[in-house]
Amino acid sequence: MSLNLGRVGVVALRVVRQLKRDRRTIGLIVFAPIVLMILFGYALSGDMSGVALGLVDGGGHAALRSHLVSIQDFDILYLGSQSDAEKLITEGQLDGAVLLQPEEVRVLLDASSLQISGAIAAAVQAGASKEKAVLQKAQESPIITRYIFGYDLEMMDTVGPAILGLVVFFFTFINAAIAFIRERSQGTLEKFMVSPLSRVEMVSGYVLGFSLFTILQSATTLFVVTFGFGVPLRGSPFTALAVVLLLGAGALVLGSFFSNFARSEFQVVQFIPLIITPQIVLCGIWWPLQSVPEFIRPFSYILPLTYAAHALRAVMLKGAGISDILYPDLLALGVFFLIFFAAATLMLRREVA
């Protein structure tokens, strides 16, 4: 199998010329990250308001009480007894209730909404620790809870790096799959097969051409994410770019490989729920890998976005360098790329013969 860089360049130039002419795709490069940041950054931020919380004040716990009342997201309703609280929760009027009694604190929660009940439980915990701090002030120093990385991070900050990976993966996969479908339907693939251009050169040309496109897309997305949404960029943008380029190359060969299983552009779009959605759900950004059920978790570890999101998070939020993310993230992305590069080139032949 020969590899002539001149021919690789010829294919790359052609791919760039075609993409350059595709105004809609160019527009999507800019607007997609903005839309996704708004969707995932704000809507899924975990911040909530209007939580209806019942409070039965049986005495004591002044610090906890004032903490709960001070939380703006909670609408506090003062109640007379536990049975009132239970009734209102059952009827759906309240999301939960806290019963303060001198000897104990009782928390009643609506189990149908895990996130809201989690927020209430967390608030009670926080209030209790404040109370503890006040009580023990004389003897001990207050308890200081320290979170490593992200003590002041918002959802936006953790989502930002993943958006960068997601945008590049999504568009490269779709564009590559459609491009290869067209190579088949236009007859150009058949013509390549009868030219000095080898399969490796053809796929390499695509990787090169799309990489220039990926650089543009990454730069735009990084700009939008850091300047538009204030996500920190503690590491080097070039390290982030290296991760994204490797991810983009993987998405390209994956798209090329899957184009063998579609007969039209329409069918490529049907791959989205199968290929893209699992990556979004399982990549560990919106829901931590630890919360993914164990029987599904192995899938998380074969999906490239899992590693890319992890690495990008490390680079952007922790300031990690190349050597910090080499293993396992870059290694995994590299292996993924090589496997599907081989698969994509082999499938090109099989399809025609």
Partner 1 sequence: MAGRGMVREMEPAVSARGVTKSFGRQKVLDSLNLDIPSGVTYCLLGPNGSGKTTFIRAIVRLLHLDKGEMSVLGRPVSEVDKIYSQIGYMTQHKALYPDLTVQENMEFYAGLYGLTRQHREERIEELLEMVDLLEHRGRLAGALSGGMYQRLSLACTLIHEPELLLLDEPTVGIDPRLRQTFWEYFDRLTREGKTVLITTHLMDEAEKCRMVGYMRAGRMVAQGTPEEILSQAGLRPLLKLWLAEPERDAALLRAQGYEIDVVGGVVQARLESHAQIKEVLAAVSPLDMRLMEPKLEEAFLRLSVGA
Question: What's the closest the beta carbon of residue 208 comes to partner 1, in angstroms?
Answer: 14
Helix, strand, or coil here: 105? strand
**Residues 120 to 139: which contact partner 1 by CB under 8 A?**
none
Tell me the per-residue interface mask from 266 to 295 with partner 1, x by CB under 8 A, - otherwise: ------------------------------
Comparing CB distances to partner 1, the nearer of 7 and 310 is 7
219 binds partner 1 (CB under 8 A): no
User: Exactly one of 5, 17, 104, 143 binds partner 1 (CB under 8 A); which one?
Assistant: 17
Do 17 and 212 form a contact (C-beta atoms < 8 A)? Answer: no
6 binds partner 1 (CB under 8 A): yes
Comparing CB distances to partner 1, the nearer of 70 and 185 is 185
Q: Residue 278 CB: number of other CB atoms within 10 A?
A: 15
13 binds partner 1 (CB under 8 A): yes
Torsion of CA 191, 197, 199, 201, to 10 degrees: -140
Query: HSE of 284 in the Cβ direction (CA atoms, 13 Å)?
Result: 20
Question: What's the closest the beta carbon of residue 205 comes to partner 1, in angstroms?
Answer: 10
196 binds partner 1 (CB under 8 A): yes
Question: What's the closest the beta carbon of residue 253 comes to partner 1, in angstroms?
Answer: 21
Question: What's the closest the beta carbon of residue 350 comes to partner 1, in angstroms?
Answer: 12
Residue 202: Cβ-neighbour burial (10 angstroms; 0-12, 13-18, 19+): buried
Do 256 and 337 form a contact (C-beta atoms < 8 A)? Answer: no
Question: What's the closest the beta carbon of residue 192 comes to partner 1, in angstroms?
Answer: 8
What residue has token string 């992305």?
A: 333
CA–CA separation, 329 vs 327, rounded Å? 5
Query: Residues with Cβ < 8 Å from 148, sequence gap 6 or more?
Result: none
188 binds partner 1 (CB under 8 A): yes
Interface ranges with partner 1 (CB under 8 A): 4, 6-7, 9-10, 13-14, 17-18, 21-22, 185-188, 190-197, 352-353
